[in-house]
Amino acid sequence: MDQAITSPQIKKVLPVILATAIFMQMLDSTILNTSLPAIAKDLNESPLNMQNAIISYVLTLALLMPVSGFLADKFGTKKVFIFALALFSIGSLFCSLSQNLSQLVLSRVLQGVGGSLMTPVGRLTLIKTYPKNELVQAMNFAIVPALIGPVLGPLVGGYLVDYLTWHWIFLINLPIALIGIVMSFKYLPDYRSKTLDFDLKGFLIFAAASFLLSISLELLGNSFHITPILVALVLGFLMLYYYYRHAKKDENPIFPLDLFQVRTFRVGILGNLATRLGISSVPLLLPLMIQIAYGQSAVTSGWIVAPMALTAMFGKSVVIGILERFGYRTTLMTNTLVIGILICALAIPGIESSIYWHVPIIAVLGFFNSIQFTSMNSISISDLRNYHTSSGNSLISVNQQLAIGFGVAFGLILLKLFEGDVQLVQGEIHQAFRYTFLVIGSLTMLSALVFRRLHFRDGENLRAKD
């Protein structure tokens, strides 16, 4: 079954099902950050050791996402997606029942296995259900939780820890997952594709590359010991080169090299990576600045970032009209430039200014982020052939996961560098944040150049027909 005629009701519900999966995964990726001290205290651990609970989840996602396309093709999108939701919810339950750090880490790995299949397989179902001229609208709806999750995560985490217990951070997933499972049984189409032999060698090589690059990201964000960072980084890129050599010879590589002959896919992947370097660190850096430099609570910082979610919803409602009028090339180049300027603008309010000067900037940023993610994700798959859909979709998911990790680590390392420069910041931590925003904003503006490689007519097959 591939791009079969689908009932209007299924088409209406399908983006909602994918939205529940994306929301859970994005919420879970960020909700833990504000809650680690409370969990550490309850488990009698140092808060510094609790990073393992985050790293284990991120690494599992990066390692197993490449296999999602093959499993969906072989066993069917419906079975794999429901299995992923069930596994994610069981992992969440075990997290809430954990009595020590080791149990929590193992439970997070189980969550990560579910998460690594959940979003890629859900998006693959969406791609195979909708004709290309309807795909942007469907993906547009499903992508909103990816914008809301990182914003609501710290806010929800702060409230749950302050007013309930940290266990509810994980228990909140259970009713959402249950709704997703029930809706999937009723509405989710079951697509399969003809599968060739699984490229185990290619998977192991690519998994090793993802693992090493993810480890280098974690070390980069949490350590100044340059040798292990460089070793992990160099080995990661060597494994990518080894995969390239393998894929040239293998008849059925897990990620075929001819994917990169599709220009829109190539630009979409590279643009995602470049743009997210700046965008990804803002939901982490701004709440940190509000708490550390301005001395406000975690809940206050969460509320200042919250308008980003509301304006993202508004961005979703206008993005199709913008793409129809200006096309992908103009939209992405201009939009990326605007996002970079807005990130730089976060450096304008001084320490004596009201923290609420950041609210209008972050609100406008949420609007343009919404346009950016919908445009980048849809142009990436616009020209993929049906036999490339599964592998291309899996690679997009892996790329996004690594790009977000790189962005967060890059933001933190810049902050630490500026904080250590006594002459530049003169003991004012707020100055370190301001310089960090200026650098990542400037780099985001430069990343707009990636989208110059698009042609004026690219994405026309995605536009709605009259």
Residue pLDDT tens, the chain, 466 long: 444 445 677 777 777 888 788 777 777 766 666 666 677 778 887 665 666 677 678 778 877 888 887 888 888 888 899 999 999 999 999 998 888 888 888 998 899 899 888 888 888 888 788 777 777 777 777 766 666 666 677 677 767 777 777 788 888 889 988 988 998 888 888 887 776 677 788 888 888 888 888 777 767 655 556 777 788 888 988 998 998 888 888 777 878 887 888 888 888 889 988 898 888 888 778 877 887 788 777 677 778 877 887 788 788 778 888 888 888 888 999 999 999 999 999 988 887 777 888 889 989 998 998 889 888 888 887 777 776 777 787 788 778 877 877 787 788 778 888 877 666 666 677 788 888 999 999 999 999 999 988 887 876 766 654 3
Residue 55 CA to residue 37 CA, distance in Å, equals 16
Residue 336 CA to residue 371 CA, distance in Å, equals 10
What integer pLDDT is reported at residue 466 of this predicted model? 39
pTM summary value:
0.77
What integer pLDDT is reported at residue 344 of this predicted model? 93
* C-beta separation of 376 from 44 below 8 A: no
Residue with tokens 């997606």: 81
Residue 380 CA to residue 384 CA, distance in Å, equals 8
What integer pLDDT is reported at residue 1 of this predicted model? 44
Residue 361 has which token pair?
């900037």
How many other β-carbons are positioned within 10 Å of the β-carbon of residue 188?
25
Using the CB atoms, write b or e for 50-79: b if 16+ within 10 Å: bebbbbbbbbbbbbbbbbbbbbbbeebbbb
* C-beta separation of 246 from 209 below 8 A: no
H and E: helices and strands count for the chain: 19, 0
* C-beta separation of 310 from 366 below 8 A: yes
> CA geometry: angle at 270 spanning 289 and 234, to 5°?
80
Residue 189 CA to residue 187 CA, distance in Å, equals 6
> CA geometry: angle at 52 spanning 115 and 102, to 5°?
90
Measured in whole angstroms, the distance separating CA 438 from the mean position of its chain's CA atoms is: 23
* C-beta separation of 9 from 187 below 8 A: yes
> CA geometry: angle at 345 spanning 412 and 143, to 5°?
70
Residue 285 has which token pair?
């850096």
What integer pLDDT is reported at residue 276 of this predicted model? 85
Contacts of 7 (CB under 8 A, 6+ apart): none
How many other β-carbons are positioned within 10 Å of the β-carbon of residue 175?
10
Amino acid symbol at 405: G
Amino acid symbol at 311: T
* C-beta separation of 267 from 398 below 8 A: no
Residue 275 CA to residue 441 CA, distance in Å, equals 10
3-class DSSP assignment, residue 2: coil
How many other β-carbons are positioned within 10 Å of the β-carbon of residue 192?
15
What integer pLDDT is reported at residue 3 of this predicted model? 45
What integer pLDDT is reported at residue 2 of this predicted model? 45
What integer pLDDT is reported at residue 438 of this predicted model? 93
Contacts of 466 (CB under 8 A, 6+ apart): none
Residue 466 CA to residue 459 CA, distance in Å, equals 16
